[in-house]
């Protein structure tokens, strides 16, 4: 019988992946416009809970990159304008496997296009992704060591002021905060994620319970995280 970790890998592949190989937020869905983001979330859980890491992330990102070097929601560009959450996903997946080149590539593309990264053929305000400067600050800090600690005060303030849980924070907000503080932990110090998880607990919340509410109790994310929170990861099922 497989362990919980082994079953997680099987369930991600067989129950929670779309036709492109990216992770779905709901196991009943057939596809999603945020596959890169959820695939990166999968990678954070594998990293934190000592589960074998996926090896196809760069291929998935390449498949979602158009001929101008701009990220798309899906390889067939069927979900409209790309937004910042998948760019955060690229960053997190890349820093998890220590691949700085793909981050540099997207950062250079962003500068080349003055951060107007349209994918739907129409140039609109929503295409101007410098509206989310904290994402590009992460990209810069990882890409260029000389500016890493110059950018730290800004990113630290974002983590402290905008990426902390409150009683009103839930669902996708908790997920985004988790992803950002995971990124900060990989980039600077593991205290960012540790402190964030402690703050979440003080609010009588947990990442596992949020996953159960947002993704469903049957989603592999929920099963793995709740098992970790109850110290059952080595259990054979």
Q: How confident is the model over 54-98, as pLDDT tens digits?
A: 999 999 999 999 999 999 999 999 887 778 999 999 999 999 999
Query: Could you tell me if 78 and 119 are in contact, meaning their C-beta atoms sit under 8 angstroms apart?
Result: no
CB 100 within 8 A of CB 143: yes
CA distance linking residue 77 with residue 40, whole number of Å? 19
Model pTM? 0.95
- d(C-alpha 88, C-alpha 136), whole Å: 9
Q: Which two tokens stand for residue 97?
A: 């496997």
What are 153-211's pLDDT values in tens digits? 999 999 999 999 998 888 999 999 999 999 999 999 999 999 999 999 999 999 999 99
CB 192 within 8 A of CB 184: yes
The pair of three-digit structure tokens given for residue 34, joined into one six-digit string:
């945020």
* Cβ contact 163:177 at 8 Å: yes
- Pick from 32, 31, 84, 91: which is nearest to 61 by CA? 91
The rounded distance, in Å, linking the Cα atoms of 190 and 214 is: 25
**Which candidate, 210, 223, 221, places its Cα nearest to that of 44?**
221
């Amino acid at each position: 019988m497989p362990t919980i970790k082994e079953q997680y890998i099987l369930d991600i592949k067989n129950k929670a992946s779309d036709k492109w190989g990216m992770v779905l937020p709901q196991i009943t869905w057939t596809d999603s416009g945020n596959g890169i983001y959820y695939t990166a979330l999968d990678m954070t859980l594998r990293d934190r809970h000592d589960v074998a890491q996926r090896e196809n992330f760069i291929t998935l990102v390449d498949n979602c990159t158009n001929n101008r070097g701009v990220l798309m929601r899906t390889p067939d560009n069927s979900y409209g304008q790309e937004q910042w959450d998948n760019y955060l996903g690229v960053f997190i997946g890349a820093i998890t496997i220590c691949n700085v080149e793909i981050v540099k590539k997207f950062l250079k593309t962003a500068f080349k296009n003055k951060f107007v990264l349209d994918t739907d053929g129409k140039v609109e305000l929503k295409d101007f992704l410098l509206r989310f400067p904290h994402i590009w600050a992460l990209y810069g800090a990882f890409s260029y060591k000389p500016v890493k600690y110059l950018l730290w005060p800004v990113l630290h303030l974002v983590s402290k002021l905008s990426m902390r849980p409150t009683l009103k924070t839930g669902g996708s907000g908790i997920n985004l905060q988790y992803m950002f503080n995971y990124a900060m932990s990989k980039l600077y110090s593991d205290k960012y994620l540790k402190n964030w998880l402690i703050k979440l607990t003080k609010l009588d919340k947990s990442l596992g319970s949020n996953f159960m509410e947002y993704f469903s109790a049957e989603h592999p994310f929920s099963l793995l995280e709740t098992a970790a929170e109850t110290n059952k990861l080595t259990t054979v099922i």
